[in-house]
Structure 1
Amino acid sequence: MDVMYWLVIVIMFIIGFIGLVYPIIPSVLFILGGILLYGVFYSFETFNWRFWAIQILLVLLLFCADYVANLAGVKKFGGSRAGIWGSTIGILVGPFVIPFLGIIIGPFIGAVIAEMVVHKKNPVVAAKIGLGSVFGFVGSVVTKSIIQLFMVIYFLFTVL
């Protein structure tokens, strides 16, 4: 039964990492879900207050990293709140409209359309802002990967 329990926990972690490139999947919830399943399958006694405090801080850091990376990417290239919102919508919709490439093309198109419609920016400037949103998204994925990896390693260090 141990093998089955660990298989389920590992699958939860894997889905969590898939969620980094498919933002519709709440990646942090799957990472936390794997940790909670360990507690259900085995015991919560292993997890002291320090463990939960660190994990909660890492979850908060994940949310901040996501927001800050997108904001920085769009703002650095001259974008506005509309560009940030357009990029965010593009990240969520893109993978469904254009499988695989939509995760990169979606935020770009979303930011470009938002800047052109809301702020009447010319296509060249809007495309530059769209490129910033892609850089922000990629930076976000890298940062969140590191944080989630740390969450899983800290979990494994605690239980093994």
Structure 2
Amino acid sequence: MDFFLISLGILLALFGIVGAIIPGLPGPPISFISLILMNLTDNITYSESFFFTFGFLALAITLLDYYVPIYGTKKFGGSRAGVVGSTVGLIAAVFILPFAGIIIGPFGLLGIILGPFAGAWIGETMAGTRGDLALKAAFGSFIGFLAGTLVKLVYSMAIMIIIVIDIIKLLFS
């Protein structure tokens, strides 16, 4: 049973890292669930304060992730159209372009970076925003997206590191 829980915990931690990058997948909560699974094993135990801290962080990061791109766009003079365009651009870069055989950069990473920016710019332009202001708003949306993604990625990677360290301790104890 421990092998199954540890294997599932590792898979969810990896999926949490992917979810930290791809919108629509709740990376931090998935990573947190991997910690719960690891704690259900006979040999790995985390304290209540550990769970409270990481659970609170998962919730806070997930909620802030919805706000940060909006804040970035608004801070740089953008509108809701820029935020929506940024999300559509990212989804296009991650899901639609690869299925069409278009992969921008190694593993599509350049598309993940350029997609939100291009989408925000297109959204602002379609909403009637002037070229220079649309570009500025797109940059704000892009900065907000990067900030949110970075925080989610750091959280999910930290959990993966904790799990790897615990597995190494388990193997060599």
TM-score (norm 1): 0.75
Q: How far apart are 1:67 and its partner, in Å?
A: 2.7
Give 1:56's aligned residue: 55
Structure-to-structure mapping, 1:6-155, within 5 angstroms: 6-42=6-42, 46-99=45-98, 100=108, 101-118=110-127, 120-152=128-160
With a CA cutoff of 8 Å and minimum separation of 6, indicate the structure with the bigger relative contact order.
2
The answer to whether the 8 Å contact 1:20/1:141 transfers is yes
Q: Percent same amino acid among aligned pairs?
A: 30
**Distance in 2 between the 1:37 and 1:80 partners?**
41
Q: 1:33 to 1:149 in 2, by over 3 A?
A: same
**Distance in 1 between the 2:63 and 2:154 partners?**
14
> Unmatched 5+ residue regions in structure 1?
none
Q: How far apart are 1:19 and its partner, in Å?
A: 1.9
The answer to whether the 8 Å contact 2:21/2:153 transfers is no
The answer to whether the 8 Å contact 2:20/2:156 transfers is no
> Unmatched 5+ residue regions in structure 2?
99-107
Q: Deviations over 1:77-120 (max 9, x none)?
A: 211222122222333333112341332232123212222223x1
Output the aligned Cα RMSD: 3.1
Amino acid in the other structure paired with 1:93: A
**Distance in 1 between the 2:159 and 2:30 partners?**
12
Amino acid in the other structure paired with 2:134: A
Q: How far apart are 1:22 and its partner, in Å?
A: 2.0
TM-score (norm 2): 0.71
Amino acid in the other structure paired with 1:62: I
The answer to whether the 8 Å contact 1:71/1:84 transfers is yes
The answer to whether the 8 Å contact 1:58/1:151 transfers is no
